[in-house]
Structures are given as C-alpha cells and as structure tokens.
Amino acid sequence: MPNPWLAISLEDYEGHMSSEGVRQTPALSQLFRRALDRFRPASVAVLGIAGGNGLEHIDSAATKRVVGVDINQKYLDQVHRRFPQLPGLESHCHDLAHDVLSIPQVDLVYAALIFEHAGLGRALDNALALVEPSGTLAVVLQLPSDTAQAVAATSYASMQDLKRDFALIDVDGLVRLLAEKGFPLVDNTRQELPAGKAFWYGAFTRR
C-alpha cells in the first residue's frame, strides 16, 4: 500500500495544522527556532520538511547549507518556491522508513513529528547517520492526551488516512535508546498547545 502522505496535498496538511482544533504550526516553528538559536548550525537537515514551516528563522549568516528530506516531492518543490533565498538549499525525496540515505552529514538534524509516522527503525538510523561528530539531533514528539485524538478530526478528511501508520513515541524510551547510541539529552522542554495536546522537544548531541 502506498504511503498515505503521497496522497495528501500540502494545502490539506497545512490547512489541517492551522485548524481551530489543531493549531500546531506556530509551536513547531518556535521549537525549530529554539534549536537554531541554541546550536547555530552551519548546516541543518529537516526530516519531514512538509512546506518548510520554521525555515524563516534560519540566519543565512550562520547557516550555509539547508537539507530538506521528505517522501513527497511536491512538498519539496514547494519549499524551493517559498524559500529561494535560502543558502545551499537541497531537497532529497526519500522514504526515511525504508531507504538508506547517503547525504553528507550536517551539524543539526531536526525531526519534528516524523517518527510517529516513520517509526524508530530505519528512520532513526537515517537521522543519526546524518549527524556530524559533535552534531545534534533535535526531535519533537506528540505527547499522549486524554482529551484529544492522535490525528484530530478537521474539515480535511484526507488527514484521517494517516491514522493507519501513526503511533506515539515513548519519550523516556527514546531518551534511553539515544543515550545508549551515544546521543545524550542536552536540552528539552514541553510545549502546551492551544487545542489541548502537548509536544515534547528534546535535543541530543553526539558524544
């Protein structure tokens, strides 16, 4: 069965994320900013880049290479149209859960709400392999909620197809796993969302 993200238009994804019952776009953008401000990377990769939410925070005086990875080529094309001024913008169309990436490493890998869809197997191996020595993987995870559905019901019906492959990631388990792999946690925060859910942000620097 083809990956459900291939059948979702960027308009639907972004409309869903900005809907009253979701409103996650600004929080994701601010968490990306937190990572950029703290690590001031010369190169950054965004896994599951969608339409490039948060790329406006990149300071091109500091960051000279920006790598977008997504399974949906149309999203990557739109990122190029939206951010023509970004230095060294590369796009790589890959299925992170199945392909083995061979992209030169970067200082910061940002992976927001991607492991819920792509899992922690090959996708995590790909993310870690992309991190330079002393570089950082920053992750945003959706936290469990008693009141909100994992994929909220909005007027964008296509988004409900994502439920099939969606699984929350356990924060403590990920922190332990990454420490074992030589990536201790160096920064974290919890971000409450207006629609009742919350995100967990963690940054892991390669030892």
Ligand X SMILES: C[S@@+](CC[C@H](N)C(=O)[O-])C[C@H]1O[C@@H](n2cnc3c(N)ncnc32)[C@H](O)[C@@H]1O
Residue 96 or 169 having the CB closest to ligand X: 96
CA distances in angstroms from 140 to 74, 91, 202, listed in the order given: 23, 21, 7
Of 150, 152, 154, 190, the residue nearest 167 (C-alpha): 150
Per-residue string for binding with ligand X, 45-84, x by CB under 6 A?
A: ---x-x--x----------------xxx--x---------
113, 120, 169, 174: residue in contact with ligand X (rule CB under 6 A):
113
201 near ligand X, rule: CB under 6 A: no
Given a contact cutoff of 8 angstroms between Cβ atoms, the answer to whether 193 and 23 are in contact is yes
Strands 198-205 and 106-112: unpaired
Closest to ligand X by CB, 75 vs 156, is 75
Nearest to 45 by CA among 86, 77, 91: 91
CB of 92 to ligand X, least distance (A): 9
Residues 83-102 close enough to bind ligand X by CB under 6 A? 94-97
Q: Does residue 17 sit in helix, strand or coil?
A: helix
Chain residues that interact with ligand X, rule: CB under 6 A: 5, 17, 28, 48, 50, 53, 70-72, 75, 94-97, 112-114, 117-118
